[in-house]
């Protein structure tokens, strides 16, 4: 596992460099002139040139790129062209809200995905219906899931809130910025429960498509393992089906599922933007959606970098887990 | 022509009869579910091609009272400006469908070409091309697409372009793997010994082998692209306001969800419908090609 981790961490460096390079190029391509955005369109040429020099934009591109990488490594992602606040500070404030959402969604993905996979692989009663649900579930755009979720759980059943992160104005704001953790640290169980309440529906909507995908892959992977020789041996020994499934088949079927979950994180961080926009959760998704509206490219670039890093890290974790589930992967 | 190459009849007489044969073969023993899937696919193409003819009203002009529910006159109701929702959804489906097809096609062409070159050339060309491809594969495509479109400015064409830029690496991997597998096979060796040129090897002996798996991947990919294009449009990165795009129509209607639910839900449901058709058709195509 350590070997896999170290190898993957080294391999991530060029990937992250490509990410930074892409974002850097996009910033150069963007039609917004950062100098004009800073000094205004009517600034005199001298002021303009001075600002250009302070921003380092009069230097050759490779030098600019080098500075960009160094700044990014120091956590300096530039200034929002609209609010004039450092992008990194904004992201630091909003990111925990998004991470809470994605973690919660991950729990749903695992729970629902494993339920679907096990139920259909074993042919439980009614699993034929589940298979249809699985094909259609993969086709539902996340915003349709959100809209229907709002109609069902708020309008008709009125059991879940649909807007924001918490309804408490005096909710604790530190020290970790994860409201679930902060509220527990502050001993505010009411805030904790309220936050969970606000989290369930968005997380479920975000989890729907990946959960279905996990279920499909787990099913086909389980079916292959259940036909393998060692399963037949286990059966010949007289073990019960449940024990064969849990002890002998499940772990061996996890490889493809874990690989898929790593890939699904990409869709999830993208979809989190829509979910946060619809449910008005103050995370980096809502932040970037607003940045798109006003054309604040520094903010968009910052969020792209952060989401890219999250994705790469998530996949390194997945690789490590894979080598735990199946030690042959580490070879 | 080299002796070891099989005799190939002149192309003019061949193309038609071979296509006919292929179609005949294709539908022999096709299961009921794949007939349903292919019929839905044909219907989808019909709707997409003739959307503007089928649409009962002009999608850009008011056709009744604003925000009326589904009725006989406006089957899916009207939107906030009184435009016919059904007409807008139909034209939006056309945009969605052809947009997704265009991006898949560009992914197949760009990715396939790079994969073909990498797989056939091998050596340092292969190493460099695949390092770049892997780096792109290791980054979250949807987020990069969003950044690209946000950088070059929102428009429908820019959306297609932005997604196409990040959508080729998958095809590079697939085509390269297929080509490398084929390169070691006896028929390619035979052709090489027979003196076939490098270009001829590529075109006649390597490329056709990579086609089936690429078609399967591409057809299963269409649904994902429909969803991504709709999501970008939802975020306001598609065509500007009155244009009937499913994602932006849904986004505009989100505030009316509790009083006039059809305004945001109908376009979103249309996206789901397209994706379902694409997924089922993709599955059917995969089954057909795998069985052969």
Confirm or reject contact between B266 and chain A (CB < 8 A). Answer: no
Contact A303, A284 (CB under 8 A): yes
Q: Which residues of A touch B234 (CB under 8 A)?
A: 143, 274
> Would you give per-residue pLDDT tens digits along chain B (292 residues)?
445 556 655 555 445 567 777 666 666 656 777 788 888 898 989 988 888 888 888 888 777 777 777 777 777 777 777 788 888 889 899 999 999 999 999 999 999 999 988 888 878 888 888 888 888 888 888 888 988 988 888 888 989 999 998 889 989 988 888 888 888 888 888 888 888 888 888 888 888 888 888 888 888 889 989 999 999 999 888 888 778 888 888 888 888 888 888 888 889 999 999 999 998 888 888 877 765 5
Mutation choice for A interface testing from B136, B139, B280 by most A CBs within 10 A:
B139
Confirm or reject contact between A220 and chain B (CB < 8 A). Answer: no
pTM of the model: 0.86
Alpha carbons A91 and A88: distance in angstroms, whole number? 5
pLDDT tens column, A46-64:
877 887 777 777 777 788 8
pLDDT tens column, A63-122:
888 888 887 777 777 777 777 788 888 888 888 888 989 999 999 999 999 888 888 877
Report which of B246, B251, B233 is spatially closest to residue B159, judged by C-alpha positions.
Answer: B233
What size, in residues, is chain B? 292
Residue A177 sits at φ, ψ, to 5 deg, of 70, -5
**Contact criterion met (CB < 8 Å) for A292 and B254:** no
**Contact criterion met (CB < 8 Å) for A274 and B231:** yes
**Contact criterion met (CB < 8 Å) for B143 and A136:** no
Report which of B141, B158, B152 is spatially closest to residue B227, judged by C-alpha positions.
Answer: B141
Contact A312, A16 (CB under 8 A): yes
Output the pLDDT for position B1: 45
Contact B195, B3 (CB under 8 A): no
Sign of CA dihedral A65, A69, A72, A76: negative
What is the three-class DSSP state of B145? helix
Confirm or reject contact between B128 and chain A (CB < 8 A). Answer: no
CA-only gyration radius of chain B, Å? 23
Instruction: Looking at the complex, report in whole angstroms how far the Cα of residue B235 sits from the nearest Cα belonging to chain A.
Output: 7
Instruction: Looking at the complex, report in whole angstroms how far the Cα of residue B203 sits from the nearest Cα belonging to chain A.
Output: 32
Alpha carbons A144 and A205: distance in angstroms, whole number? 9
Q: Which residues of A touch B134 (CB under 8 A)?
A: 15
Closest chain A residue to the Cα of B235, Cα to Cα: A289
Alpha carbons A229 and A220: distance in angstroms, whole number? 17
Contact A316, A1 (CB under 8 A): no
Q: How many CB atoms lie within 10 A of CB B120?
A: 21
Confirm or reject contact between B268 and chain A (CB < 8 A). Answer: yes
Q: Which two tokens stand for residue A267?
A: 């869709």
Q: Which two tokens stand for residue A297?
A: 């490219």
**H or E stretch covering A188:** none
Confirm or reject contact between A266 and chain B (CB < 8 A). Answer: yes
Confirm or reject contact between A152 and chain B (CB < 8 A). Answer: no
B residues 226-245 near A, CB within 8 Å?
Answer: 227-228, 230-231, 234-237
What is the three-class DSSP state of A165? coil
* Among A269, A295, A301, beta carbon nearest to B147: A301
Collect the ranges in chain A with pLDDT lower than 50: none
* Among A141, A297, A312, beta carbon nearest to B138: A312
* Among B132, B141, B234, beta carbon nearest to A274: B234
Alpha carbons A86 and A80: distance in angstroms, whole number? 6
CA distances from B1 to A87, B187, B197, B198 (A): 65, 16, 10, 14
**Contact criterion met (CB < 8 Å) for B140 and A151:** no
Alpha carbons B138 and A266: distance in angstroms, whole number? 9
Looking at residue B78, what DSSP letter applies? B
A residues 17-36 near B, CB within 8 Å?
Answer: 18-19, 22-23, 26-27, 29-31
Task: Using CB atoms within 10 Å of the CB of residue A258, give its burial: 0 to 12 exposed, 13 to 18 middle, 19+ buried.
Answer: buried
CA distances from A319 to A269, A325, B55, B155 (A): 19, 10, 50, 38
Output the pLDDT for position A203: 92
Contact residues for B97 (Cβ-Cβ < 8 A; gap 6+): B44, B45, B48, B226, B274
Output the pLDDT for position B101: 94
Contact residues for A200 (Cβ-Cβ < 8 A; gap 6+): A104, A160
Output the pLDDT for position A331: 54
Confirm or reject contact between B50 and chain A (CB < 8 A). Answer: no
**Contact criterion met (CB < 8 Å) for B280 and A147:** no
Task: Using CB atoms within 10 Å of the CB of residue B8, give its burial: 0 to 12 exposed, 13 to 18 middle, 19+ buried.
Answer: exposed
Alpha carbons A98 and A276: distance in angstroms, whole number? 8
Helix count and strand count (H, E) for chain B = 12, 0
Among all chains, which residue has been given the structure tokens 């989290």? A199
Mutation choice for A interface testing from B137, B143, B170, B249 by most A CBs within 10 A:
B143
Report which of B187, B228, B12, B266 is spatially closest to residue B99, judged by C-alpha positions.
Answer: B228
Q: Could you tell me how many CB contacts below 8 A there are between chain A and chain B? A: 143
CA-only gyration radius of chain A, Å? 24
Alpha carbons B173 and B210: distance in angstroms, whole number? 11
In B31-69, which positions are buried (b, 16+ CB within 10 angstroms) versus exposed (e)?
eeebeebbebbeebeebbeebeeebebebeeebbeebbe
**H or E stretch covering A157:** none
β partners of residue A86: A79
Alpha carbons A186 and A182: distance in angstroms, whole number? 6
Contact B238, B154 (CB under 8 A): yes
Mutation choice for A interface testing from B131, B137, B138, B221 by most A CBs within 10 A:
B138
Confirm or reject contact between A138 and chain B (CB < 8 A). Answer: yes
């Amino acid at each position: 596992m350590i070997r896999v981790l170290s190898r993957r961490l080294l391999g991530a460096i060029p990937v992250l460099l490509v990410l930074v390079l892409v974002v850097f190029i996009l910033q150069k391509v963007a039609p917004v002139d950062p100098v004009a955005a800073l000094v205004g369109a009517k600034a005199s040429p001298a002021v303009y040139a001075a600002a250009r020099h302070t921003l380092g934009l009069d230097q050759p591109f490779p030098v600019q790129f080098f500075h960009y990488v160094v700044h990014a490594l120091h956590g300096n992602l530039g200034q929002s062209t609209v609010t004039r606040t450092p992008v990194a500070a904004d992201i630091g404030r909003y990111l925990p809200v998004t991470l809470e959402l994605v973690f919660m969604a991950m729990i749903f993905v695992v729970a629902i995905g494993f339920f679907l996979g096990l139920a259909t692989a074993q042919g439980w009663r009614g699993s034929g219906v589940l298979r249809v649900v699985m094909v259609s579930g993969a086709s539902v755009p996340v915003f349709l899931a959100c809209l229907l979720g709002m109609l069902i759980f708020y309008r008709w059943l009125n059991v879940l809130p649909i807007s924001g992160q918490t309804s408490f104005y005096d909710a604790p704001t530190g020290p970790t910025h994860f409201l679930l953790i902060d509220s527990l640290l502050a001993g505010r169980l009411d805030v904790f429960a309220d936050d969970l309440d606000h989290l369930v529906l968005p997380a479920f909507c975000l989890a729907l498509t990946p959960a279905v995908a996990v279920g499909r892959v787990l099913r086909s992977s389980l079916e292959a393992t259940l036909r393998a020789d060692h399963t037949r041996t286990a059966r010949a020994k007289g073990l019960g089906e449940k024990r064969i499934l849990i002890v002998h088949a499940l772990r061996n079927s996890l490889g493809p599922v874990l690989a898929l979950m790593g890939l699904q994180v990409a869709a999830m961080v993208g979809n989190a933007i829509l979910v946060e926009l619809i449910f008005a959760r103050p995370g980096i998704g809502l932040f970037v959606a607003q940045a798109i509206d006003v054309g604040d490219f520094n903010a968009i670039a910052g969020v792209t970098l952060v989401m890219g890093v999250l994705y790469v890290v998530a996949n390194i974790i997945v690789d490590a887990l894979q080598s735990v589930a199946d030690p042959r992967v580490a070879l | 022509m080299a002796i070891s190459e099989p005799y190939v009849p002149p192309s003019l007489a061949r193309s038609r009869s071979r296509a006919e044969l292929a179609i005949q073969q294709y539908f022999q023993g096709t299961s009921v579910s794949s007939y349903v899937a292919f019929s839905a696919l044909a219907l989808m193409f019909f709707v997409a091609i003739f959307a503007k003819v089928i649409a009962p009203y002009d999608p850009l002009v008011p056709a009744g009272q604003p925000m009326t529910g589904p009725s006989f006159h406006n089957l899916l109701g009207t939107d906030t400006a009184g435009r016919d929702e059904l007409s807008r959804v139909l034209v939006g489906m056309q945009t969605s469908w052809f947009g997704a097809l265009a991006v898949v096609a560009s992914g197949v062409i760009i990715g396939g070409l790079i994969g073909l070159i990498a797989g056939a050339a091998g050596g340092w060309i292969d190493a460099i091309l695949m390092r770049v491809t892997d780096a792109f594969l290791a980054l979250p495509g949807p987020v990069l697409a969003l950044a690209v479109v946000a950088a070059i400015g929102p428009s429908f064409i820019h959306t297609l372009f932005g997604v196409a830029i990040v959508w080729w690496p998958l095809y590079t991997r697939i085509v390269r793997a297929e080509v490398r597998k084929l390169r070691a096979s006896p028929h390619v060796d035979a052709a090489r010994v027979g003196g076939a040129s490098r270009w001829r090897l590529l075109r006649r002996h390597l490329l056709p082998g990579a086609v089936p798996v690429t078609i399967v991947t591409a057809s299963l990919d269409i649904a994902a692209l429909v969803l991504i294009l709709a999501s970008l449009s939802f975020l306001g990165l598609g065509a500007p306001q009155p244009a009937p795009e499913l994602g932006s129509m849904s986004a505009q209607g989100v505030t009316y969800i509790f009083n006039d639910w059809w305004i945001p839900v109908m376009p979103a449901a249309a996206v789901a419908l397209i994706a379902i058709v694409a997924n089922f058709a993709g599955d059917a195509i995969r089954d057909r090609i795998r069985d052969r």
